[in-house]
Structure 1
Amino acid sequence: KSKGVRFGPKPKLTEHQRSVALERLASGESCRAIGRDMGVAHTTISRLMA
């Protein structure tokens, strides 16, 4: 940790992808449809809202 090493799995989405997904969620698109398009699970998308 003192060397700046990050632990755990790498993020599935980049910051840009996250912002795009949030915009699409705000416009009413389903988590499943967004996840399918981005190649991630719908739960990954639904976690962005939390």
Structure 2
Amino acid sequence: MLKDISDWELVGYGGKSTLEKEELRSPNRIDYLIKYPREFDEGVSWEDSY
């Protein structure tokens, strides 16, 4: 299920990490960390998998 987060507040960007990430706050004041996967020519990293 996709969720519209266009009105959520950007709290900050992730600190030291190999993945790009953003911290968002929902309207009901719950903070979420969004991590974006890296692109590889082939396969994925252990950090990008579940």
TM (norm. structure 1) is: 0.26
Greater share of helix:
1
Greater share of strand:
2
TM (norm. structure 2) is: 0.26
